[in-house]
Amino acid sequence: MAGIFSFKCSSCDKIHEGSPSFGFNAPDPYLDQSEDVKEQGKLTEDLCFYTDEDGTHYFVRAVMEISIDGVSEPFTWGVWSSLSKSSYDRYVETYDNPDLKDCFFGYLSNYLPYYKNTYALKLEVQPQENNQRPQLVPHESEHQLVIDFKNGINISRAQEIAEKCMHS
């Protein structure tokens, strides 16, 4: 039977309960921009763009779910994906009423803790019903995050990743 994830933390000694969920408030490259560029761009809970010398860069907030063996709720990463302008426009236009057949190509736009360089992993952004954030499906790769997405992780790995996220 699938259960609830909980563990005694080796870092703070407390019991942490519930499947871990860690989010990023912005795509990492946005945070590197000057105040001017940030002000002229846009950052909400779900959308982001900014313009630099290379042009305008578009991003959406999404989720990547990694199943944990024997646990009902997945390990959830709230991360950003880049999108092309046309995909971003389509995403914004259909935001309140997404077409579930849509699927947008993007690049992962955050450096996740625990994993080595997750930035710019290729993926698909899949809109969801009921105002849920879109789901990310990474392209086939030897990257550990992609392998974990495909195969899921065991409880001790989930604990290791969660501790790293919470306490570093």
Which of 6/128 has CB closer to Zn ion?
Answer: 6
Q: How does strand 21-23 pair with strand 75-83?
A: parallel
Name the β-bridge partners of 33. none
How many Cβ atoms sit within 10 Å of the Cβ of residue 5? 21
> CB of 6: closest distance to Zn ion in angstroms?
12
Token representation of residue 13: 């000694």
> CB of 158: closest distance to Zn ion in angstroms?
13
Which of 51/156 has CB closer to Zn ion?
Answer: 156
Which of 12/31 has CB closer to Zn ion?
Answer: 12
* Contact by Cβ (8 Å): 133, 80: no
Which of 1/15 has CB closer to Zn ion?
Answer: 15
The closest of 40, 39, 85 to 59, measured between CA atoms, is 85
Name the β-bridge partners of 51. 56
CA 122 to chain centre: 12
> CB of 54: closest distance to Zn ion in angstroms?
40
Name the β-bridge partners of 13. none
- Say how far apart CA 37 and CA 112 lie, in whole Å: 24
Q: Which residue of this chain has its Cβ atom nearest to Zn ion in the complex?
A: 9
> CB of 164: closest distance to Zn ion in angstroms?
10
- The residues binding Zn ion (CB under 5 A) are 9, 11-12
- Say how far apart CA 79 and CA 44 lie, in whole Å: 13
Which of 127/163 has CB closer to Zn ion?
Answer: 163
> CB of 76: closest distance to Zn ion in angstroms?
18
